[in-house]
Structure 1
């Protein structure tokens, strides 16, 4: 939810940067902090009562107990994400990606060292891993805050402002639309795991599915990178008033991401279950992963395009439209078909996954159609109107920034 809501900042900051309304980026960042912190507080009960909630809906009590423990550790992670996600969107919108990359490397290195120290040397098990995760999640937050407050963004950060407390409702609406859009996508995979948990021999099925989803998640990080890149580029170009450059960026990024996805598609079809031995020594689980590998390969292929199109939607501010598309394709088509194939026809986890793939395929086709049929010159007009409506005069200058909306 927080990542989705933070993506509204990518729309606002990207378009403001393209229009050279630089000071509005700092104001938008502060507004997002207020909105996401409030959202995090409202979500606290879900993390506190995860175990009884899972037991209530019929999940295995042993698995629910572990999930409940992990969810409590995620509370500090949730508050770290409030700042981490928003700062990342803010910095990416102005192409300050290197500081994000450097901090990510530091965070990864610390995480790996602490994970080894706390689990292997000190034998703290799950608590050690989760302690390392919490520390690693806060490292980029403090690093990015020091960078921003220390003068790394002189044009876009001019200090805290009471103006950030005004006009919160329009930003909240866009944030909620963004959050719903992304949640509907992320929950889709979660429901796949949830439905698998009700099946016979659920432990093996969940182990195999977790391996497949981990591999898919690794590859999807590439597409997520393209999502961020195209979101920023489309927002920048629309803010700058260039429909032609926005379209050019979309074509190039989609083609590049799809080409990479095609390579991985062939790779995973060829190796099938052999990669599962990175995660497990169980022959039974490895065989289950091999059986699921074709579905994994097709998921990777679809995920090389779908996230990029979602990035286009974020850059253009279409979050509400995509949310409706996701509800229809995922929850009215994909999940019902998957449940029927998995439970009624007895295809188990394969049936559920096929239904999920069908929903993703239809969603991707719809997003391709919307993107192709869009009048991008009209989108420039819509963007300029939004920038004009939300513009606040820079108090430091007493007049609009050069190149901004009047």
Structure 2
């Protein structure tokens, strides 16, 4: 990469607090010996946690909006909990996977452009993503409108399907909040402007908790009150983040709305679609777990117990997604700045921390295994079912803390299409058939379904570790340079994929 495309712009006021992370002109030196390893590990840890800390807080807060609504629904009634769980996991979960996936194309493009000093393109990329995601939202809206017949078609019980379908209609505003929010999030993350996102998410969570209790329980509005508060909380975050961007704090990264956003849209759609497939296959995988539980005997108890477990897994995964966001920024910035060794070493550091955090969460869960089920449901039968799943849940916390971090590496490097194929093989050709075999044919029930699907995640994680180990990071830096030239409108390099 030419020297004039690298660091100088990254030390300007446009970059903000992250300048000292990606502004170094030279790559890290080769590591020889244990002492040098730990020195570089300490340096990279500071860079990673500068990003990961606020990102973890932000993702936990945003996930907790739906999780808290689900928790209050569990105190309204078992049918309400099952209906909201299905809507939140199947309908909203399906849409969320598509929106986050398509928005994640910006993590590759914005991150690598930022690392190379092409700051002006970030706002254009975000606007292109908005156009694509809002059109996608209009298409996805039919899923919400026809949620009841769709749920009945796939075998859910009538009471759950009708109530979940009503809830889905109420949650259409959240769908378009997803479309607006995730491009904004990737735009800010690429510049390491994550603290403002954490402040806004924290404020939203505090008000969301209070008003959910007020409307759902105190005033007795039930799921209708939950829908009102959940929609309002998501749109509050979108509006607050846009006020921050429009105030001029992002410098040259945001220079206003531009007709350039409508150029090269089809190529952007293809990249967004590849990103969506990769992340949707992961999101829908756990959505399928809830669906399969609906086919078991005593489906309401099975769905309630699994929804509580996936709720907890979701909170833990939000921590991992904080690492996902941080490592995608680190890898994309360093590859964009032609620092392959720094990109490679950042992968080592994030895997170590992801494993440590996952083990700590599993230990806490085991320690409080007798207490935590009562926080999510009043039914003793549901609590006992959750308690029986605790060992499996603890194992899941460890595995599912590492896998999203590795997916972040893939996003930062632009490997979305390759990872999509791996997800299809590990999840849908191997994991789901194994889970169904153990759950239904072997009559292991919920445990069998979960064990089979968790095995698919383990296989996928092992493959991702192997890919990261075998990657030629010098080649990836060269690919990043070609990608930046292509998407910034420079002459396309022959052979660019």
Normalised TM-score (structure 2): 0.78
Residue in structure 1 matched with residue 401 of structure 2 by the alignment: 304
Residue in structure 2 matched with residue 72 of structure 1 by the alignment: 169
Q: Is the 8 A contact 1:19 1:240 kept in 2?
A: yes
The farther-off stretch of 330-339 and 215-224 is 215-224
Distance 1:70 1:295 in 2: 30
Residue in structure 2 matched with residue 396 of structure 1 by the alignment: none
Distance 2:121 2:138 in 1: 26
Q: How does 1:5-404 map to 2 (within 5 A)?
A: 5-392=102-489
Q: Is the 8 A contact 1:273 1:287 kept in 2?
A: no
- CA shift at 1:40, angstroms? 0.7
Distance 1:324 1:383 in 2: 21
Q: Is the 8 A contact 1:24 1:392 kept in 2?
A: no
The farther-off stretch of 308-317 and 167-176 is 167-176
Residue in structure 1 matched with residue 67 of structure 2 by the alignment: none
- CA shift at 1:295, angstroms? 0.9
- CA shift at 1:270, angstroms? 3.8
- For structure 2, which runs of at least 5 residues remain unmatched after alignment? 1-97, 492-497
Q: Deviations over 1:162-198 (max 9, x none)?
A: 1111111221111101111111001101111111101
Distance 2:370 2:158 in 1: 30
Distance 1:34 1:175 in 2: 12
Residue in structure 2 matched with residue 403 of structure 1 by the alignment: none
- CA shift at 1:106, angstroms? 1.6
Q: Is the 8 A contact 1:107 1:140 kept in 2?
A: yes
Q: Deviations over 1:6-56 (max 9, x none)?
A: 011111111110000001111101110111111111111111001011112
Normalised TM-score (structure 1): 0.95
Distance 1:371 1:179 in 2: 21
Root-mean-square deviation over aligned CA pairs? 1.3
Residue in structure 2 matched with residue 404 of structure 1 by the alignment: none
The farther-off stretch of 320-329 and 203-212 is 203-212
Q: Is the 8 A contact 1:273 1:286 kept in 2?
A: no
Distance 1:216 1:323 in 2: 22
Distance 1:205 1:292 in 2: 11
Q: Is the 8 A contact 1:272 1:294 kept in 2?
A: no
Q: Deviations over 1:262-292 (max 9, x none)?
A: 1122232343353101112322222211211
Q: In structure 2, do the counterparts of structure 1 residues 315 and 65 end up closer, same or farther at CA, with 3 Å as the change threshold?
A: same
- Find the residue that maps to 1:151 and give its secondary structure: helix
- Find the residue that maps to 1:304 and give its secondary structure: helix
Residue in structure 1 matched with residue 95 of structure 2 by the alignment: none
- Find the residue that maps to 2:120 and give its secondary structure: helix
- CA shift at 1:145, angstroms? 0.9
- For structure 1, which runs of at least 5 residues remain unmatched after alignment? 394-399, 401-406
Q: Deviations over 1:226-268 (max 9, x none)?
A: 0000011111111111001111211111111110101122232
- Find the residue that maps to 2:440 and give its secondary structure: helix
